[in-house]
């Protein structure tokens, strides 16, 4: 039976099922294979806060979306072309994101009365015509999996757990992907349990050949490799890239890395990653709490390490007082905040950008701290390196903002040429002559002198310091001057960061100004608007405190400035204060990233259809 092969430019697939169904694994396997195949792609895992919520419930649904393309890809897609729903709850939760005509593949076996009720359906949605308008494929995935493993020694439970590989195999067939990368992965993963390796291999094949041999599917699709720049690639998530960037800063400076951290979603992955890099000299310390995470890092920094602490919103709140200590002691320290939905415990597994004002202002006293933000999973690598560059050069804590969306999302990453990464020059003062703890260099940075340096014994601390000597001082004029000095030191960093670039015309009707993980959605929206002839440009900020020096002038060149943010307008507030200009805030605080369409629609309505 010869099946038709249709060529597509891009496809968005969402795998959805119970949180125990292995959807994250299925999605990441599909992503890895697709990357190896040569497509550009972006992924969006979306999982519940509960590890294993009661089976079949809406709040237990875990999803993994990816968009792969023969073109440059900036977002994981607005609307899935294909939804794989492993149970009724997965269907119910995700159907609203589909456009008419989308393909739905369901595990028909899971649509029993209990699951249908758990999902909140009154009648079986597969039988009441509510899915008319979609291409619905009802596949008994559980029983087909069981059939494939009829001879296996596995328990019924173990057999049931293999069903995600059936779905994966079927998707590989449908989108013309090779099985080999996943087969290789299975053999490696289950090396010590051959029965499981064999079972998953069988089921993966069964899914693939089900597509090939049954008459249910008439068409398969292919998406040609993207025209990516030459070089060697790997898939990388934002959290992986942060870990890599930090270790790279350590290797390029010759100064070992110390991480003090307390586990917190969605930042823990950085701790996991860094704890494997022992032969890179990385010391990781899983502290008793968030406060010990940052204060241990301050101790390590005093000892001459590149010091890092990683956290998310609630943890950031706990670190606040220690941030002030790092400001006052003028020690280098990098604080990574992988933002999630807040306030309080908020939405632990969902993305948000609502800690910007906290990063800017969230301390007692006049306590300026440079703030930078990563825009894509791959960009996390550069920003981690940049954080350490600023931190060590200016002897200051630096806050690096990421978010749950780019932390868990992944994309192909062009591995940089090692020689293209600059050396990080770090000086430890050992010279006794003329030393004073709070003397300053041309960058207003004080000297970094580590314990063990003979003759340079000195004390630092959280009490106000006398200029130069660093002795405790309550002198009013000294305090005023020190506050100004610390502010000036941070402000001066604007002379040492790249000017921001305008995507599109330098002058025009609308500037879309963003920061952080909204980059991809904004870029796609702006491209679309530009193609339609709208006068729209994009600026995306990586340095937020201080701002790039040319930002003020850029802002003057546009009639309207729109600032999309996953908060209630935090950057907008800062821009209004800093530049005294009107900006229009475009907010979304739903725990979800922007879709490109949302931003495009906003641009379109603001331009009033004027071309």
Partner 1 sequence: MTTNTEIKYTAKDFASDQDVRWCPGCGDYSILAQVQRTFPDIGVPKEKIVIISGIGCSSRFTYYMDTFGMHGIHGRAPAIAGGLKIARPDLSVWVAAGDGDLLSIGGNHFIHTCRKNIDLKILLFNNRIYGLTKGQYSPTSEKGKITKSSPYGSVDYPFNPLSLALGAGATFIARSIDRNPKHMQEMIKKAADHKGTSFVEIFQNCNIFNDGAYDHLSSKDTKDDAVLVLEHGKPMIFGSQRNKGIILNGTKPQVVNIDEGNYSINDILVHSETDDNPFLSYLLTYLSENPDYPTPIGVFRNVLRPTCDEEIQNQINYITEVNGKGTLKELFHNTTTWTVE
Burial of 494 (0-12, 13-18, 19+ CB in 10 A): middle
CB of 162 to partner 1, least distance (A): 23
Residue 415 touching partner 1 (CB under 8 A): yes
Residue 183 touching partner 1 (CB under 8 A): no
CB of 186 to partner 1, least distance (A): 14
| Nearest to partner 1 of 293, 564 (CB atom) | 293
Question: How many residues make contact with partner 1 (CB under 8 A)?
Answer: 69
| Nearest to partner 1 of 260, 569 (CB atom) | 260
Residue 436 touching partner 1 (CB under 8 A): no
Distances (CA, A) of 321 to 316, 333, 350, 400, 474: 10, 14, 26, 17, 20
| Nearest to partner 1 of 183, 592 (CB atom) | 183
Residue 295 touching partner 1 (CB under 8 A): yes
CB of 431 to partner 1, least distance (A): 14
Please name the residues in contact with 24: beta carbons below 8 A apart, sequence gap of 6 or more: 45, 47, 62, 64
Would you give the binding string for partner 1 spanning residues 489-528, x where CB under 8 A is met? Answer: ----------------------------------------
Residue 223 touching partner 1 (CB under 8 A): no
CB of 38 to partner 1, least distance (A): 7
Burial call 555-569: b when 16+ CB within 10 Å, e when fewer: beebebbbbbbbbeb
Report CA 204 to chain centroid distance, whole Å.
30
Residue 224 touching partner 1 (CB under 8 A): no
Residue 235 touching partner 1 (CB under 8 A): yes
Q: Find the length of the chain.
A: 611
Q: Figure out which of the listed residues 279, 344, 495, 605 binds partner 1, where binding follows CB under 8 A.
A: 279
Site for partner 1 in 309-328 (CB under 8 A): 321-322, 324-325
Q: How far apart (Å, rounded) are the C-alpha atoms in residues 326 and 398? A: 10
CB of 463 to partner 1, least distance (A): 6
The stretch among 3-11, 416-424, 494-502, 506-514 that binds partner 1 (CB under 8 A) is 416-424
Report whether the peptide linkage leading into residue 546 is cis, meaning its omega lies within 30 degrees of zero. Answer: yes
For the chain, state the CA radius of gyration: 26
Burial of 284 (0-12, 13-18, 19+ CB in 10 A): buried
Please name the residues in contact with 163: beta carbons below 8 A apart, sequence gap of 6 or more: 21, 86, 107, 141, 142, 145, 203
Residue 281 touching partner 1 (CB under 8 A): yes
Q: Figure out which of the listed residues 54, 133, 194, 303 binds partner 1, where binding follows CB under 8 A.
A: 303
Q: Which 3 state secondary structure label does DSSP give 377?
A: coil
CB of 296 to partner 1, least distance (A): 3
Q: Figure out which of the listed residues 89, 298, 398, 529 binds partner 1, where binding follows CB under 8 A.
A: 298
Residue 435 touching partner 1 (CB under 8 A): no
Q: Side by side, which strands form the sheet with 61-69?
A: 40-46, 61-69, 10-18, 82-85, 103-107, 135-139
Distances (CA, A) of 42 to 64, 337, 413: 11, 22, 11
The stretch among 66-74, 93-101, 280-288, 345-353 that binds partner 1 (CB under 8 A) is 280-288
Q: How far apart (Å, rounded) are the C-alpha atoms in residues 250 and 387? A: 12
β-strands 103-107, 135-139: how paired?
parallel
Q: How far apart (Å, rounded) are the C-alpha atoms in residues 113 and 124? A: 8
Q: Figure out which of the listed residues 248, 311, 351, 604 binds partner 1, where binding follows CB under 8 A.
A: 248
Phi-psi group of 254: left, alpha or beta (phi > 0 → left; psi -120 to 50 → alpha; rest → beta): left
Q: Tell whether the torsion through CA atoms of 327, 329, 332 and 333 is positive or negative.
A: negative
CB of 473 to partner 1, least distance (A): 11
Q: Figure out which of the listed residues 229, 434, 476, 608 binds partner 1, where binding follows CB under 8 A.
A: 229
Q: Figure out which of the listed residues 34, 73, 87, 296 binds partner 1, where binding follows CB under 8 A.
A: 296
For 366, other C-beta atoms within 10 Å of its C-beta total: 14
Report whether the peptide linkage leading into residue 318 is cis, meaning its omega lies within 30 degrees of zero. Answer: no
Q: How far apart (Å, rounded) are the C-alpha atoms in residues 429 and 228? A: 45
Written as six digits, the tokens of 578 are: 């800093």
CB of 587 to partner 1, least distance (A): 35
Closest Cα to residue 351, out of 265, 262, 235, 242? Answer: 265
Q: Figure out which of the listed residues 48, 77, 304, 378 binds partner 1, where binding follows CB under 8 A.
A: 304
Residue 372 touching partner 1 (CB under 8 A): no
In the chain, the N- to C-terminal Cα span, in Å, equals 51
CB of 421 to partner 1, least distance (A): 8
Residue 127 touching partner 1 (CB under 8 A): no
| Nearest to partner 1 of 418, 442 (CB atom) | 418
Residue 565 touching partner 1 (CB under 8 A): no
Residue 392 touching partner 1 (CB under 8 A): no
Residue 263 touching partner 1 (CB under 8 A): no
Site for partner 1 in 440-479 (CB under 8 A): 450-463, 471-472
Would you give the binding string for partner 1 spanning residues 36-75, x where CB under 8 A is met? Answer: x-x-------------------------------------
Residue 437 touching partner 1 (CB under 8 A): no
CB of 188 to partner 1, least distance (A): 11
Chain residues in the site for partner 1 (CB under 8 A): 32, 35-36, 38, 181, 228-235, 244, 247-248, 251, 256, 258, 260, 277-283, 285, 287-289, 291-292, 295-300, 302-305, 307, 321-322, 324-325, 329, 415-416, 418, 421, 450-463, 471-472
């Amino acid at each position: 039976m010869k099946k038709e092969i249709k060529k597509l430019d891009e496809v968005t697939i969402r795998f959805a099922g119970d949180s125990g169904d292995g959807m994250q694994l299925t999605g990441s396997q599909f992503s890895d294979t697709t990357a190896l195949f040569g497509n550009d792609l972006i992924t969006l895992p979306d999982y519940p806060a509960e590890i294993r919520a009661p089976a079949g419930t809406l709040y237990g649904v875990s999803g993994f979306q990816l968009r792969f393309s023969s073109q440059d890809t900036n977002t994981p897609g607005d609307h899935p072309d294909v939804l794989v729903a492993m149970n009724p709850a997965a269907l119910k939760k995700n159907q609203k994101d589909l456009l008419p005509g989308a393909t739905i593949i369901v595990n028909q076996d899971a649509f029993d009365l209990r699951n249908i009720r758990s999902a909140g359906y009154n009648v079986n949605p597969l039988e009441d015509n509510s899915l008319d308008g979609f291409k619905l494929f009802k596949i008994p995935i559980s029983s087909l999996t069981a059939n494939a493993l009829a001879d296996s020694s596995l328990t019924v439970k173990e057999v049931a757990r293999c069903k995600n590989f059936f779905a994966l195999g079927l998707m590989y067939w449908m989108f013309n992907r090779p099985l080999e990368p996943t087969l290789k992965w299975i053999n490696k993963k289950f090396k010590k349990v051959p029965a499981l390796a064999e079972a998953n291999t069988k089921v993966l094949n069964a899914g693939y050949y089900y597509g090939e041999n049954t008459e249910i599917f008439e068409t398969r699709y292919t998406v040609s490799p993207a025209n990516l720049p030459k070089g060697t690639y790997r898939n990388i998530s934002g959290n992986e890239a942060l870990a890599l960037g930090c270790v790279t800063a350590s290797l390029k400076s010759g100064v070992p890395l110390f991480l003090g951290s307390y586990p917190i979603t969605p930042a823990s992955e950085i701790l996991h990653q860094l704890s494997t890099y022992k032969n890179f000299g990385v010391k990781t310390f899983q502290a008793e709490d968030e406060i010990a995470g940052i204060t241990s890092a301050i101790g390590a920094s005093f000892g001459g390490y590149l010091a890092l602490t990683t956290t998310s919103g609630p943890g950031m709140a706990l670190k606040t007082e220690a941030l002030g200590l790092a400001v006052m002691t003028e020690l280098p320290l990098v604080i990574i905040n992988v933002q999630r939905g807040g306030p309080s415990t908020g939405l632990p597994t969902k993305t948000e950008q609502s800690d910007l004002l906290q990063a800017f202002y969230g301390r007692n006293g006049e306590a300026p701290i440079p703030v930078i933000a990563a825009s894509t999973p791959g960009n996390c690598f550069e920003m981690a390196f940049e954080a350490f560059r600023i931190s060590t050069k200016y002897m200051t804590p630096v806050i690096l903002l990421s978010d749950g969306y780019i932390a868990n999302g992944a994309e192909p990453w062009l591995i940089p040429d090692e020689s293209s990464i600059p050396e990080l020059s770090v000086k430890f003062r050992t010279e006794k002559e003329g030393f004073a703890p709070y003397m300053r260099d041309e960058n207003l940075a004080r000297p970094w002198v580590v314990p063990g340096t003979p003759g340079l014994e000195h004390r630092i601390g959280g009490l106000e310091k006398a200029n130069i000597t660093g002795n405790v001082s309550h002198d009013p004029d000294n305090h005023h001057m020190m506050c100004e000095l610390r502010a000036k030191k941070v402000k001066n960093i604007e002379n040492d960061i790249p000017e921001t670039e305008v995507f599109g015309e330098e002058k025009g009707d609308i500037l879309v100004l963003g920061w952080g993980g909204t980059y991809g959605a904004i870029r796609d929206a702006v491209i679309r608007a530009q193609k339609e002839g709208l006068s729209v440009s994009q600026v995306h900020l990586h340095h937020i405190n201080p701002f790039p020096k040319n930002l003020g002038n850029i802002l003057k060149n546009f009639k309207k400035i729109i600032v999309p943010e996953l908060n209630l307008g935090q950057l907008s507030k800062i821009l209004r204060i800093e530049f005294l200009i009107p900006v229009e805030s475009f907010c979304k605080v739903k725990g979800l990233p922007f879709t490109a369409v949302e931003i495009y629609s906003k641009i379109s309505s603001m331009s009033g259809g004027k071309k």
